[in-house]
Chains A and B, each alone.
Chain A
């Protein structure tokens, strides 16, 4: 089905194929084998029932009370893939920011995440050279602190103005003393939606808040039908606990969300070397089986449920078993998953752009840009974690998000398809001939239109002086500039209604 395209452009890539067709089929078969032997474990009675009624082999687990082992035959998976939509639209307060995810079109959108606990503040301090007391240089000095709801509001404002941020997942946890377990969801969704007009995605802390969040969306869009038409928010559920278990609470959340016809990411985040094989083929076979088990359950419960293949495979760091994002294997795992999702024609949520480095700098840039580029090349629909994350996913830094935005812009430009047409060829040959007829043989004049189209890369915008790196100083100035820009808040009437109907939102973020 061809749709009129209204929404964010993202970048449509000619995908880099790490796996060949034969290898995709091999991994698919391996995943199918895992789903029947050993099968998956789940701790959710309704889900066990659904699988049982559909013809899967369901037995009580001997390992733990209230757990079942489900062996899912391939035909159930294939049947689920028939009803799972290839196309999912994610809405936005400003319709120009809509995202159209199409399992068969590798259009890439970059987004933020994850729920870090720390904000890294950057200040520039002046230092005196020990070899030359007259020489004073500025260097960034960083400080970590706990994230608060005010930081989330600021991050959303920043995200609104970052040209290459296509969707928003809160990059910081709100840890204010006056925010409790049951008021976290309403505060985080309101903080995001009130400070930006792009699509907002988040997990759910407390299932009891789901209807409040959906009500917030209805008030913003104008009603239940309008929200269905334009889902300004969507959800993420980490249904899988690797290896091969569907976790009870998240399964409940997933079933509740699809019952309400909202889009949801079904994610799995195994760690190569600890909760999944470290070998690429083993890792990918397992995570693919895990996600397909969740997709199958979603379609058995509600055929046509809007689910997104959520692959967040990471590698274990061997000196502390933390998640590791800067390892080349991380990219290999992720690209393979993107290809598997496309093999099933499912919209794909993938991962890239996280640094293991604790502060911005050479290491962070190298780690981030490799996956910004490499994962983007494979053509996922939603590339999350791409802005501002440091120290695995423990720290968010505003200045780093501004730098990442620049680098993602460069990646998007790099991925633009070539424009080889007879018209362009004729024009270029004409230019070559004209220039050959001049005395100076310079092509400069024919570069002008492209320069002024705004499409040409002119210079690294944070470039510094001759022998001093000023990237951070310039990124900080740019961050301050952006944060001072206004955003289109919700109208007073909309906010008033949200506050009147939905309890627990802090007055200070209104």
Chain B
């Protein structure tokens, strides 16, 4: 495939939400055809500029997915599949981007707080953020406050996303923020919270930087923060 064919195949496969060759995508008979992962690897071998892969392939693909979602042609599963495909190759591209001096959008730590087993929402946020070009570290579910703070100390993320589905567990968000402050880890960190019982008011009360009502809000809030804008997701 030529350079431009590769780029347009990457874009097409982002729209099809095909991470790799085993993915069925949306159209018929795609299984076995190269997916985003295989195509990006081939493009890198052929020394297609990383910047072009990212901008004209992946980002443009995601933009079109977003437009289709707006028009109600695409739905959440389509968004997630596309984001997952993009997120998977972002890890492959990271060293190249560093080499080129393209700054990553930043590192995002995610966790569902202590005694809360719910992770569907958090996982969706993780997939969408990866697809949007953030480096995501997911600490999992029911993560004790001390462990979250320890991970912040170790990973030095730019963002911390805390999730809770229960009104009984959301108080651990406040504990987390207090402990971060105690340890002097709060100032260079944006804390974003989400989950059914949480609200912008609650975020304000506990001193979080933003509350997001869903994964879309999380992505747009993080994007605003990454480009130096304010945060009021």
Q: Which residues on A are within 8 Å of B, measured CB to CB?
A: 439-442, 444-445, 447-449, 451-452, 458
Contact = CB atoms under 8 A, between A and B. Distances in A.
Contacts of A441: 123
Contacts of B17: 445, 448
Contacts, number: 38
Contacts of B119: 440
Contacts of B75: 448, 451, 458
A445 B26 contact: no
Contacts of B76: 444
Categorize the interface residue count of chain B: 10 to 19
5 closest residue pairs by CB, A with B: A440-B123, A444-B77, A445-B81, A447-B77, A444-B80
Contacts of A444: 76-77, 80-81
B123 A448 contact: no
Given A449-B24, A452-B26, A442 B123 contact: yes
Interface string B43-75: 000000000000000000000000000000001
A448 to B, nearest CB: 5
A444 to B, nearest CB: 4
A414 to B, nearest CB: 21
B221 to A, nearest CB: 20
A445 to B, nearest CB: 4
A439 B81 contact: no
Contacts of A439: 123, 138
Contacts of B195: none
B78 interface: yes
B77 A440 contact: no
Counting chain B CB atoms within 10 Å of each CB, which of A439, A444, A449, A458 scores highest?
Answer: A444
Given A442-B120, A442-B123, A448 B138 contact: no
A451 B81 CA distance: 13
7 contacts: A439-B123, A440-B119, A440-B124, A444-B80, A445-B84, A448-B17, A452-B26
Contacts of B84: 445
B126 interface: yes
Interface string B117-140: 001100110110000000000100
Given A448-B77, A451-B75, A440 B127 contact: yes
Interface in B20-54: 23-26
A458 B24 CA distance: 22
A377 B120 CA distance: 37
B62 to A, nearest CB: 16
Interface string B87-124: 00000000000000000000000000000000110011
Contact of A451 (B77, B123, B124, B126): B77
A449 to B, nearest CB: 7
Contacts of A451: 75, 77-78
Contacts of A458: 75
A146 B120 CA distance: 56
Contacts of B81: 444-445, 448
A445 B126 contact: no
B123 A445 contact: no
B138 A445 contact: no
B35 to A, nearest CB: 12
Counting chain B CB atoms within 10 Å of each CB, which of A441, A448, A449 scores highest?
Answer: A448
Contacts of B138: 439
Nearest to A443: B77
A458 B138 CA distance: 31
A440 B77 CA distance: 13
B142 to A, nearest CB: 15
A229 to B, nearest CB: 37
A425 B24 CA distance: 17
B128 to A, nearest CB: 11
